[in-house]
Amino acid sequence: MCGIIGVIGDDPLAALLDGLSRLEYRGYDSVGVAVLAGGELWRIRAAGGGALVDLRSRVGKGELFEPSSSLTPGRSRGLPPGELVAAAGIGHTRWATHGAPTEQNAHPHSGCTGRIALAHNGIIENHRELAARLQASGHTFTSDTDTEVLVHLLEENEDGDGLAASMRRALRTVQGTFAIVAVSISDPDVIVAARRVSPLIVGIGVDRASGYVASDLPALLGRADCFYSLEDDQVAEVGAGSFVVTGLSGEPATPHELKSKWTLEDSEKAGYETFMEKEMAEQPDAISDTLRSRLRPDGFALLDDGLASAGERASALATAAYLDTIERITILACGSSLYAAMAARPAFETWANVPTDVEIASEYRYRSLAADARTLAIAMSQSGETTDTLQAARAVLGRGLPLLAVTNVVGSSLSREAQAVCYTRAGPEIGVAATKTLTTQIAILQLLAAELGQRRRVLDRGDVARISGSLARLPALVGKALAHHDEVREVAARIGQARDFFYLGRGVGYPVALEGALKLKEIAYVHAEGYPAGEMKHGPIACFEPGTVVVAVATRGPLWEKMMGNIAEARARRVTMVVVCEEGDRETAEVADEVLTVPSAPDPLTSPVIDVIAMQLLAYEIARGKGLDVDRPRNLAKTVTVE
């Protein structure tokens, strides 16, 4: 969950601070950097809201302290601005797991000598046992983190043969998950990185004279242009413009080269006030990119494209013969990805005639599976790093079943472990709230459903042309939905102070309701429940009273009349009724206190991609009205790498 960066060459301090500001979405409880300069190690850390801003201003004032001095009372001293000429450094932005989000617990950690600094993402499962052993041999711990044990282990394993060698020896005793970056006064020409499960990327600078390590690509865009993803239990020694990778026994190893098309501009706000606003606005283009070259007048080409990108591993899935044998689809996902899968499920069932289950990944991995070789398992995760989804995917792979990954991140763990991968091509999403990744996920699954329907001859040529036309219109229709932003802002101003929100929908409107409620909880911290409208009368309606806001998805799908009945039942309890309805639909608008207008979907099955825009805008405006930081909501992180 945390963000990690390491830099050697270039201007390390500037590159670290810049990289950290682009990694804040990974976690923002606390932040810290450590740099090697003038034969010493300097560290600064900050915790709490605005930690990075605080840290930047302190760095500007020259408040850097060498850890060795700060461990000895009375010896710590600051360094005046400009005096620090760093050769290498590491930085970290934290989402707390072990230990409160305090400065003491912030990374980088240094050990007893203050000669090594280390930052870590992941969880060291045997940290207690290791700490007990280290304490017995004289090490003193100063934080409540599991991470600190790593830096003491490095000290313990120093043998005059370099930091990477100490790292390899140390990691042989470690259980758990990690992405690590470390620097040492004794080995100033390298930064050393290692990975097990938690992702870590090595980058070579555009100037060919700098080396980088980061947990995520956006931190390096603009500075590096060759990227490699470390595999599990690989250790990288990164110098200025080159690197060497070995396994834990010192054997040469090869990292995975990443071929990403993301650019620096993709990861900047580009004049928008927030990343979320920018990413919502990017949805028409993102969906166009998702569909590009995969949607043809005579059909769909997702499988050829998506499966080919997985190379040899695709063989099991790529054959038409295999796809023709599929009797069931199971989609594994979490959070918004789960709701995207639910929104696409009817397309698999209607267009491809394949029964489809959507499973909460964190629950699925602990169930005894009913799936067999005729079930196509799809694991979907925008980041491709969500532990719950990865572990569910591994449960599928562990049973020898084929797995298709749907993800937005090229080279992510999920994309590398599955036999085949389809990329959503949404570009980097920095805001914690999923927006463009969600709509592109729905679009890509619907493409897959249509392609399966075509292959399996469920769809005739007329159907193919109609569905292809409906999908092709999505970018423009999403653009029209976004054009209602000002109206949504006014609605948000009138209802934004309510305490309880219920989001209701039926059929494909139900996952839209779930996503609406999730967005409101996530960025506006307002209690909200998403419910299938037909279930309302089985319990939740007891909570309805004046002041309760009910947001009903009432676009003109086949269940519209049923939905109108549910709206009437809710209105009878004098709730504030907000409806999502189509432009020009006065009949639906008349039953509402407030209206969120969206354009009509040419095919009701594609309506979630359009209707969900109103949900995003409403949550966004309610959160902004409360003065909240929508890009970095409290307690959350963009990529959830803990169970």
Helix (H) or strand (E) holding 463: helix 461-472
Minimum distance from residue 509 beta carbon to ligand M6R (Å): 19
Minimum distance from residue 83 beta carbon to ligand M6R (Å): 42
Kindly tell me which of 42 and 275 has the beta carbon lying closer to ligand M6R. Answer: 275
Minimum distance from residue 631 beta carbon to ligand M6R (Å): 11
* Token duo for residue 602: 């040419």
Minimum distance from residue 361 beta carbon to ligand M6R (Å): 8
Confirm or reject binding of residue 386 to ligand M6R (CB under 6 A).
Answer: yes
Kindly tell me which of 383 and 607 has the beta carbon lying closer to ligand M6R. Answer: 383
Minimum distance from residue 382 beta carbon to ligand M6R (Å): 4
Q: Quick one: how far is CA 129 from the chain centroid? A: 32
Cβ(32)–Cβ(177) below 8 Å: no
Quote the CA–CA distance of 58 and 64 in Å, as a whole number. Answer: 8
Kindly tell me which of 330 and 336 has the beta carbon lying closer to ligand M6R. Answer: 336
Confirm or reject binding of residue 382 to ligand M6R (CB under 6 A).
Answer: yes
Of 112, 116, 151, whose CA–CA distance to 130 is shortest?
A: 151
Minimum distance from residue 571 beta carbon to ligand M6R (Å): 30
Kindly tell me which of 34 and 280 has the beta carbon lying closer to ligand M6R. Answer: 280
The number of residues that bind ligand M6R (CB under 6 A) is 16
Query: 575 — phi, psi (to 5°)?
Result: -75, 170
Confirm or reject binding of residue 359 to ligand M6R (CB under 6 A).
Answer: no
| Cis preceding-peptide flag for 108 (omega within 30 of 0) | yes
Question: Among 334, 443, 524, 581, which residue sits at the site for ligand M6R (rule: CB under 6 A)?
Answer: 334
Query: Per-residue x/- marks for ligand M6R, 388-417, CB under 6 A?
Result: -x----------------------------
Query: Per-residue x/- marks for ligand M6R, 501-520, CB under 6 A?
Result: -----------------x--
Please say if 2 is a catalytic residue: yes
* Token duo for residue 5: 């960066």
Confirm or reject binding of residue 381 to ligand M6R (CB under 6 A).
Answer: yes
Mapped onto helix, strand or coil, the DSSP state of residue 92 is strand
Kindly tell me which of 33 and 343 has the beta carbon lying closer to ligand M6R. Answer: 343
**Bridge partner residues of 227 (DSSP):** 203, 258
Minimum distance from residue 61 beta carbon to ligand M6R (Å): 35
Segment contacting ligand M6R by CB under 6 A, of 55-63, 236-244, 322-330, 333-341? 333-341
Amino acid at 442: I
Kindly tell me which of 334 and 447 has the beta carbon lying closer to ligand M6R. Answer: 334
Confirm or reject binding of residue 522 to ligand M6R (CB under 6 A).
Answer: yes
Segment contacting ligand M6R by CB under 6 A, of 88-96, 328-336, 346-354, 615-623? 328-336
Mapped onto helix, strand or coil, the DSSP state of residue 575 is coil
Minimum distance from residue 414 beta carbon to ligand M6R (Å): 8
Minimum distance from residue 388 beta carbon to ligand M6R (Å): 8
Angle of helix 485-495 relative to helix 607-625, nearest 10 degrees, comes to 50
* Token duo for residue 51: 């930690």
Minimum distance from residue 145 beta carbon to ligand M6R (Å): 23
Confirm or reject binding of residue 105 to ligand M6R (CB under 6 A).
Answer: no
Segment contacting ligand M6R by CB under 6 A, of 26-34, 332-340, 490-498, 590-598? 332-340
Kindly tell me which of 117 and 434 has the beta carbon lying closer to ligand M6R. Answer: 434
Helix (H) or strand (E) holding 550: strand 549-553
Cβ(293)–Cβ(472) below 8 Å: no
- Distances, alpha carbon 587 to alpha carbons 342, 413, 480, 554, 556, in Å: 28, 49, 21, 11, 11
Residue nearest to ligand M6R (CB): 335
Confirm or reject binding of residue 218 to ligand M6R (CB under 6 A).
Answer: no
Confirm or reject binding of residue 616 to ligand M6R (CB under 6 A).
Answer: no
Query: 185 — phi, psi (to 5°)?
Result: -60, -35
Residues within window 51-80 making contact with ligand M6R, judged by CB under 6 A: none
Minimum distance from residue 331 beta carbon to ligand M6R (Å): 12
Exposure pattern of 364-394 as b/e (b: 16+ CB <10 Å)? bbeeebebeeebbbbbbbbbbbbbbbbbbbb
Question: Among 143, 288, 337, 362, which residue sits at the site for ligand M6R (rule: CB under 6 A)?
Answer: 337
Sheet holding 201-205, edge to edge: 40-47, 30-37, 86-94, 3-8, 211-214, 201-205, 224-229, 256-258
- Distances, alpha carbon 627 to alpha carbons 273, 337, 522, 559, in Å: 13, 27, 14, 37
Cβ(26)–Cβ(638) below 8 Å: yes
Confirm or reject binding of residue 3 to ligand M6R (CB under 6 A).
Answer: no
Quote the CA–CA distance of 123 and 147 in Å, as a whole number. Answer: 8
Segment contacting ligand M6R by CB under 6 A, of 98-106, 175-183, 316-324, 330-338? 330-338
**Residue 138: count of CB within 10 angstroms of its CB:** 9
Burial class of residue 457 (count of CB atoms within 10 Å of its CB; 0-12, 13-18, 19+):
exposed
Kindly tell me which of 68 and 639 has the beta carbon lying closer to ligand M6R. Answer: 639
Quote the CA–CA distance of 321 and 324 in Å, as a whole number. Answer: 5
DSSP class of residue 124? Answer: B
Cβ(572)–Cβ(506) below 8 Å: no
Q: Which of 278, 436, 519, 638 is catalytic?
A: 638
Question: Among 383, 446, 566, 641, which residue sits at the site for ligand M6R (rule: CB under 6 A)?
Answer: 383
Residues within window 421-460 making contact with ligand M6R, judged by CB under 6 A: 432-434
Q: Which of 2, 112, 334, 422 is catalytic?
A: 2
Kindly tell me which of 274 and 597 has the beta carbon lying closer to ligand M6R. Answer: 274
Kindly tell me which of 32 and 608 has the beta carbon lying closer to ligand M6R. Answer: 608
Kindly tell me which of 210 and 330 has the beta carbon lying closer to ligand M6R. Answer: 330
- Residues with a known catalytic role: 2, 638
Q: Summarize as ranges the residues that interact with ligand M6R (CB under 6 A).
A: 334-337, 381-383, 386, 389, 432-434, 518, 522, 639-640
